[in-house]
Amino acid sequence: MIIYLDGKYLPEAQAKVSVFDHGLLYGDGVFEGIRAYNGRVFRLKEHIDRMYDSAKTLDIRPPITKDEMAEAICEVLRRNNLRDAYIRPIITRGVGDLGLDPRKCKKASAIVIAVTWGAMYGDLYEKGLKAITVSVRRNPPECLPPNVKSLNYLNNILAKIEANYKGGDEAIFFDTNGYVAEGSGDNLYVIKNGEIITPHTLNNLRGVTRMVILEIAQSLGITVKEQNLGYFDIYTADELICSGTAAEIAPITWVDGRVIGSGKPGPVTRQLMEAFHAVTKNEGYPAFPNAGAKASAKTSVKASVKAAKSGVKKTKTVAAAKAKIAAKIAAKTGAKKAAVKKPVVRKAKAPAKKTSGKAAIIP
């Protein structure tokens, strides 16, 4: 594996950071999770913009520009020959001393790692996840804004630990006001009466996949509402989903012992999942020369959703045509059967009178 580290592309064994790096000592840094599909990096600009916004909030000056970061990401994919990958760009405060003072860190550090990572939840995309509402509360924005994707993920990890002990696949965070925030690593959406309801992004990460889902919903004509949600809304949802770069779109069918909806991924969930996969197939920043042209986000979403709809209509049309043909064949077969003459049943002759005490043989 080749890793980018401060301007160099190094083998994994040689990619090392100092023990005095404040990213290690204090979680003082930011990161992103990005996916590449078929040689194209999905929503690369949006991810890099979010990472640099996080760095600005923490007053970290990235050592490379956004364009240089984009190039480093693509080069790591090329050097590892990874067309489908999960990418982790990182910016740390850099090397300092054992004190907290960030002024001691003279220069920030940049790292890019890329690995093969398939579907995060395996067969649970068909079955649905089990989620646990945890006692740990999401960091309030006045302390550490959830929109900063920092290297300090202890809040999320504590929630995940609690969900693990209680038998959940994912945790559901509430904020300090008692409203639904997000999962331990993804955004949440309630689907009720055909509408999508999701929390405002003040108490949760402004997800890139979340942005895509809202665009898809708009293209599909599904109403989306951003509002506060509570336990009642979670338990009584028709469908419940979570989304993130690693998770993509995943159904949640069980929360705290309550079955959500029918207990299976619902129709709106499946529609969103299908459309999302169509979008990721058609959109992205090309990392390889033959990966295809770059498509703009909204144009790609509209075109992909249209293609997905078209595919569904085509499938229905083909199915209807097959059913029609089968009906015609059945009708013809039935007519032929009706036209066949019934065999003549010959009545048996009455037994002949007994002679010489022996039964007569009926011819």
Catalytic positions are 149
Q: Based on the number of CB atoms within 10 Å of its own CB, is 127 exposed (0-12), middle (13-18) or buried (19 or more)?
A: middle
DSSP character for 106?
Answer: -
Distance of CA 160 to the CA centre of its chain: 18
How big is the chain by its Cα radius of gyration, in Å?
31
In angstroms, the CA 272 to CA 224 distance is 13
229 closest CA partner among 264, 259, 203: 203
**The two structure tokens encoding residue 51:** 């990472």
For 248, phi and psi rounded to 5 degrees?
60, -120
**The two structure tokens encoding residue 329:** 């064949």
Answer positive or negative: Cα dihedral of 165, 182, 154, 7. Answer: positive
Number of helices and strands in the chain (H, E): 9, 17
